[in-house]
Amino acid sequence: MLKRIRKIIAPALIILLGISPLALFARAESAPASFPEISSPAAVLMEFSRGEILFSQNGSERMPPASLTKIMTLFLAFEAREEGRVSWDDKVVISEKAWKTGGSQMFLNAGDSVAFRDLVTGIAVVSANDACVALAEHLSGLEASFVQEMNNKARELNLKNTRFENASGLPHPDHYSTAEDIALLSHSLINKYPEVLDLYSQEGFTFNGISQMNRNPLLGRFPGADGLKTGHTTDAGYCLAGTAEQNGMRFISVIFNASSEGIRQKDSEALLNFAFRNYCLETVFTAGEIVATTAVSKGEEKEIQLEVGNDTEVVIPYDRKDDLEIRMDVPEIVTSPVSKGTPLGKVEIILDGTVLKEEPLLASDDVARAGHLTLFWRSLSGFVSSLWTQLIEKIQNVLPW
């Protein structure tokens, strides 16, 4: 059985904890700094490595998501490809319904055969509504059937306040989501299919001789920005799910119902700037670092060292380094033989009582089972040592000193 070892404070360690004064998801006792004032009605900031919401302003309020809907559409497209139900080179015949779809388009023509890859790119880069319908029909037969899959996936991802009525985000009274749900969806998409950022970060897309620029205002302006999606309708206002990576840290910002493109961009940049200025990344342990030992029963060696399996990098507010703790779970004894790399315990990095990261502890070397002669002499040595210890104790008890 694993024996719980007392917490050991580790002053030089760093890891993420969501901190949010005046926010719905506050977890830390104090914030590294005051969050910026956000003008948009709803906004969320998420740290990517743990999916922790650091700031939420009306983040659970249901609102029209507009084209942020397409994040789910692409999630299902990548999932279908992963499952082998479609390939990038599959030809999709464009229906009249897809051709007639209004709003932003890649200008598909009814009856044309278009590569699935081009539809996905058109959705990611130029927010093509016509491509959403064509993709949905190709994968599910009808857009309505695809929308059912979208809602099933929303439940699977625990998007508690999201409901889809179409694949594109065109207005519908029963089509809604929240800034928090979109942040969670964005996190799930990037985490499972990081290659999607190669599409979202494209500056433009040309199809049938028509060139259009990516509408994401963060691209080329905010350092490290590589996604995700803009959205706008009269009811939804100006929306943006943005993400950027700097110095090994990634954050996701979501803005709902901004009053203008400028406010949408300003609020997104304010959240991301706050994140990168007030959080930091540091290596707690390096791969192969020895952090514990444990006894070995009947082994050629009497104990074995335990090492951390991977580099342990963590994100926290820059001023919380001294508040971190290490907790180790290691066995009191293991039975030989032991192979190098065998998991024999774990180490946890903790802040304010929350486990921020967990890494396995591995056997640092092989330990073979000892031979019978070795075990005999070891047992005899232990017996003699025990007798000698008892004799010394008796002498000490008898002599008058």
Q: Could you confirm whether 140 is annotated as catalytic?
A: no
The DSSP line for 36-57 is PP--SSEEEEEETTTTEEEEEE
Q: Are strands 8-9 and 2-4 parallel, antiparallel or unpaired?
A: unpaired
Q: Could you confirm whether 127 is annotated as catalytic?
A: yes
Copy the structure tokens of residue 201: 């970060």
Peptide bond before residue 65 is cis, with ω within 30 degrees of 0: no
Please give the Cα distance from 156 to 148 (Å, whole number).
12
Active-site residue identified among 40, 56, 70, 95:
70
- Residue 257 is which amino acid? N
Whole-number Cα distances in Å, 5 to 259, 286, 329, 332, 385? 54, 21, 6, 10, 29
Copy the structure tokens of residue 197: 């950022």
User: Do the beta carbons of residue 282 and residue 210 sit within 8 Å?
Assistant: no
Name 313's Cβ contacts closer than 8 Å, sequence gap at least 6. 248, 281, 282, 283, 284
The DSSP line for 324-386 is -EEEEEEESEEESPB-TT-EEEEEEEEETTEEEEEEEEEESS-BPBPPHHHHHHHHHHHHHHH
Find how far residue 107's CA is from the centre of its chain. Answer: 35
Active-site residue identified among 20, 127, 186, 253:
127
Active-site residue identified among 40, 49, 67, 104:
67
Name 396's Cβ contacts closer than 8 Å, sequence gap at least 6. none
Please give the Cα distance from 46 to 56 (Å, whole number).
9
User: Do the beta carbons of residue 118 and residue 89 sit within 8 Å?
Assistant: no
Q: Could you confirm whether 104 is annotated as catalytic?
A: no
- Cite the active site residues: 67, 70, 127
